Amino acid sequence: MHYPWWYVPHLTSPMLIAFIAVVHVLVSHYAVGGGLFLFVETRHAHRTSNREYLDYLHRHARFFVLLTVVFGAITGVGIWWTIGLASPLATEVLIHTFVFGWAMEYVFFVIELAAAFLFLYFWGRVTPRTHVLFAGVYAFAAWVSLVLITGITGFMLNSGNWPERGGFWNGFFNPQFAPQVLARTGGSLLLASMYVYFHASICSPSSALREIIGRRSARPALLGAVLIVAGGAGWFANLPESSVAALMKAPALNIFMAILFAVTVAVFAMLYFGPYRNPAWLTPGFGVLFLMFGIVAVTVGEFVREAVRKPYIVHNVVMSSNILASEIPGHRAAGFLESGPWTRALIAAKFPQVMDGTRIDERRLLDLPPPQRIEAGEILFMHHCNDCHATDTGLSAIPHVTIGWAPEMIHDVVTSPELFHHYMPPFAGTPEESQVLAEWIESVRPPFPAGMRFGPASAEGGE
């Protein structure tokens, strides 16, 4: 069964998810690495009785809680809101499969919130030992949350043997689990140092204190870079064959991979020759530039990680067309429109002449007048294709994708899209449905670009 569609004009709903998710990742990774930073550095400042450093850490803790706990919680809710609307079936599968994991994550999230506020609001009101304990509890709970969520997001990229065996632990300890835990732990350490350098370069007037911060944060950042490389290698080694093929075929993804490599080298060089070797380099300009490089690296990395999942939302389970992979044969036999209660009710309301009792007679779709066939094709598109394609302008808009296509080519692609691009999901409908969908696409297809007609075949294809 497929769910109702949620259409976001121009951007498309998956890109809206991507935007909110990347913003959340930039904050949530700092929540993990920053918590470890505050734990280690607060303990160091208490042990050395460095009052100036403690005062700075207090200021940083306010910034940290405001950004990670307040804004991070808002973006976290935003992710659930958008995925529930844009990918309801995938959300359902993740909730049902990992209900025990989500329950554990919520427990640790509550511990995070409590420890963060205790750490901040009881600053100077409890003993140093208790104060450091608050920070340690927060750091541990935040990292456990990262591990729990990574097991679930790794399952989406490579479900391993779960489709055959099932079970919570088979899904959680998927082939992507360990590599992504390594990479995300490393990313948390590195990204936290970038936030620390940015904040310290602006909010710490003491150059001597900035040198201390630069020197002490450099080593965990370098460790983070090493973990990212190790985890990234494991990530690539454990990609499903379909993901490797998508990565190799898409020129944009290859460009992004090159950008990611170049930015990673630049960040490592800046870190080594800057705070590690020359702590005095920690200036506002350096802090802003360093953080910008980190944001670019994380954003590009997340985009690549999500893009290679196609043609799935959840590997081998949920297709990017928001139906279960196992449902495709049934939908092809019964009809895609017939297989969803919402589409069946909509067709019954708009075109009662195609109904045979309470069921859609797919053959009658072709008896509709041309304008109504086109309208039925648009309904099919919105439920089957709009998760990846816009209708008019925007991301992978159908008019832009199909410009100049001949009607025969449109019909062939609609009938077997996976043969045209292997990262497109199979069409899960009847031949009659593919016909009306092709007619709708033909109705919005622009003509062949002017000045590029080379012969009768090209001209005919553009009419």
The predicted-structure confidence for 288-326, as pLDDT tens digits, reads as follows 999 999 899 889 998 898 889 999 999 999 999 999 999
On average, the pLDDT of the chain sits at 91
For the cut 70, the answer to whether the pLDDT of residue 223 exceeds it is: yes
The mean pLDDT of 348-364, rounded to a whole number, is 95
For the cut 70, the answer to whether the pLDDT of residue 462 exceeds it is: no
The mean pLDDT of 409-427, rounded to a whole number, is 93
The predicted-structure confidence for 161-174, as pLDDT tens digits, reads as follows 999 999 999 999 99
**Model pTM?**
0.90
- The confidence band for 395, taking pLDDT boundaries of 50, 70 and 90, is confident
The mean pLDDT of 17-42, rounded to a whole number, is 94
- The confidence band for 458, taking pLDDT boundaries of 50, 70 and 90, is very low
**How many percent of the chain have pLDDT more than 70?**
97
- The confidence band for 362, taking pLDDT boundaries of 50, 70 and 90, is very high
The predicted-structure confidence for 264-286, as pLDDT tens digits, reads as follows 888 888 888 988 888 887 888 88
The mean pLDDT of 327-344, rounded to a whole number, is 94
Query: Which domains are seen in the chain, by residue range?
Result: 13-315 (1.20.1630), 325-462 (1.10.760)
SS3 of the chain: the string is: CCCCCCCCCECCHHHHHHHHHHHHHHHHHHHHHHHHHHHHHHHHHHHHCCHHHHHHHHHHHHHHHHHHHHHHHHHHHHHHHHHHHHCHHHHHHHHHHCHHHHHHHHHHHHHHHHHHHHHHHCCCCCCHHHHHHHHHHHHHHHHHHHHHHHHHHHHHHCCCCHHHHCCHHHHHCCCCHHHHHHHHHHHHHHHHHHHHHHHHHHHCCCHHHHHHHHHHHHHHHHHHHHHHHHHHHHHHHCCCHHHHHHHHHCHHHHHHHHHHHHHHHHHHHHHHHHHHCCHHHCCHHHHHHHHHHHHHHHHHHHHHHHHCCCCEEECCCEECCCCEHHHHHHHHHHCCCCCCHHHHHHHHHHCHHHEECCEECHHHHHHCCHHHHHHHHHHHHHHHCCCCCCCCCECCCHHHHCCCCCHHHHHHHHHCHHHHCCCCCCCCCCHHHHHHHHHHHHHHCCCCCCCCCCCHHHHHHHC
For the cut 50, the answer to whether the pLDDT of residue 396 exceeds it is: yes
Residue 12 has a pLDDT of 82
Lowest mean pLDDT among 109-123, 142-156, 171-185, 445-459: 445-459
